[in-house]
Amino acid sequence: MRINTTPPAAEPVHEYSARDRAHIALDAACNKLGVLLEITNGPKITEPVVKTRTEPDHPSYFVPAKWDLADALARLPRCYEEWAAEQTPAEPASETFALNREQLYAAIPGAIDEAARATLGEQYNPQVAADIAANMVALLSQPKPQRPLTAAQRGTEWMAKWGCPGFCVQEHGQPEASEFHTTAPVETALKASEVDCSGYSQGTDNLPWMSAQTVVSNDQAQAYGRRTNVFLGYGVHLAEISPAEARRALDAMRAFTVRLAAVVDFAEQTAADDFAGDAEIARLDREADARRRAAIDEARGDGAR
Ligand SMILES: [Zn+2]
């Protein structure tokens, strides 16, 4: 009699197809660059391209659905560099541009006046035209808020020197810069000092109420590895937490906003019955209070001092 030595059927192993593997590799490469991978059937995308849908800090790598993903991976660095180059702010410092800009501003009042004369007919008023022109020049002359440069915009040499991922906006080498790498923070427009009555936020007028950014530590990565965390700022407090913990914080916040909305709704309804009080009665009350305290002080003998 023979013993059956056939091994028990193995657990079915999921076989990744070549396309699955290419997809995973491409996805990982996009992640490293802070780019969202979007496989698309859209008619406008005829070849792989890095583009920005809304916010300049959040580009996507659009790849046509039928494209060879290994080829898309090979093209990614080039596509990313092309996108990053477009993001580099133009150099308004050039003298020609400054000169042209001055000429342009000088020409605006005349052009507006001419246009107003032509279109407004009897309603034309030189002062209104001059006001519009002055407003326009004032708006154009306002300095544009500067976005911090990303490591990708600074170039591959910078990235290699500091070990920066493409998204990093730290000015390494400057005294106030961190050793770790960070995205530009997302922030509430609301400032901590606008809502904090504890006093902790005094003198922190520009500190946002809440902020968050991705932080990567990769100093001597071969020895100590690489760690990605989230800085979650709330007023003067700061949490440095793992992405998983940040996910928990996000879930907690989502659940909380629903209940916060209920509290705000209820407070608004309740506040409908609020009233200011009578200034005259308040004055009498304060005076009576002052007399009462004076009498107590005198009884204690403090009044003599
Ligand atoms: Zn960096």
pLDDT score for 98: 62
pLDDT score for 241: 97
How many angstroms does the Cα of residue 171 sit away from the middle of ligand 1? 7
pLDDT score for 14: 59
Q: Is the pLDDT of residue 40 over 70?
A: yes
More confidently predicted of 106 and 191: 191
How many angstroms does the Cα of residue 218 sit away from the middle of ligand 1? 9
How many angstroms does the Cα of residue 34 sit away from the middle of ligand 1? 13
**Locus of tokens 């965390």:** 229
How many angstroms does the Cα of residue 37 sit away from the middle of ligand 1? 22
- Burial of 183 by CB count in 10 Å (0-12 exposed, 13-18 middle, 19+ buried)? buried
Give residues with Cβ within 8 angstroms of 140, minimum separation 6: 105
How many angstroms does the Cα of residue 254 sit away from the middle of ligand 1? 31
Q: What percentage of the chain carries pLDDT values higher than 90?
A: 41
pLDDT score for 259: 96
- Residues whose Cβ atom is located within 5 A of ion ligand 1: 164, 168, 170, 181
Q: Is the pLDDT of residue 105 over 70?
A: yes
How many angstroms does the Cα of residue 180 sit away from the middle of ligand 1? 6
How many angstroms does the Cα of residue 165 sit away from the middle of ligand 1? 6
Span 229-268, pLDDT tens digits = 999 999 899 999 999 999 999 999 999 999 999 999 999 9
pLDDT confidence bin for 56, thresholds 50/70/90: low
How many angstroms does the Cα of residue 182 sit away from the middle of ligand 1? 6
More confidently predicted of 144 and 47: 47
Q: Which helix (H) or strand (E) holds 59?
A: strand 59-64
Torsion angles phi and psi, residue 68, rounded to 5: -70, 115
Give residues with Cβ within 8 angstroms of 109, minimum separation 6: 129, 130, 133, 134, 137
Q: Is the pLDDT of residue 91 over 90?
A: no
Closest CA to 215 of 205, 229, 232: 229
**How many whole angstroms separate alpha carbon 73 and alpha carbon 147?**
29
Q: Is the pLDDT of residue 32 over 90?
A: no
Q: Are 183 and 169 in contact (CB under 8 A)?
A: yes
pLDDT confidence bin for 102, thresholds 50/70/90: confident
Q: Is the pLDDT of residue 90 over 60?
A: no
More confidently predicted of 63 and 86: 63
Cβ count within 10 A of residue 289: 10
Amino acid (one-letter) located at 203: G
How many angstroms does the Cα of residue 134 sit away from the middle of ligand 1? 43
Q: Is the pLDDT of residue 164 over 90?
A: yes
Mean pLDDT of all residues in 164-184: 90
How many angstroms does the Cα of residue 225 sit away from the middle of ligand 1? 16
* Burial profile 150-174: b = 16 or more Cβ within 10 angstroms, e = fewer: bbbbbeeebbeebbbbbbbbbebee
pLDDT score for 25: 84
pLDDT score for 55: 62
Domain boundaries, the chain: 18-87, 95-141, 185-239, 275-305
How many angstroms does the Cα of residue 9 sit away from the middle of ligand 1? 50
Output the average pLDDT for the chain: 85
pLDDT confidence bin for 143, thresholds 50/70/90: low
pLDDT confidence bin for 96, thresholds 50/70/90: low
Mean pLDDT of all residues in 104-122: 83
How many angstroms does the Cα of residue 172 sit away from the middle of ligand 1? 6
Span 180-221, pLDDT tens digits = 999 999 999 999 989 988 888 888 888 999 999 999 999 888
Strands (E), 177-279: 181-182, 186-187, 210-217, 227-234, 237-241
Strands (E), 118-246: 181-182, 186-187, 210-217, 227-234, 237-241
How many angstroms does the Cα of residue 56 sit away from the middle of ligand 1? 18
How many angstroms does the Cα of residue 281 sit away from the middle of ligand 1? 63
More confidently predicted of 237 and 103: 237
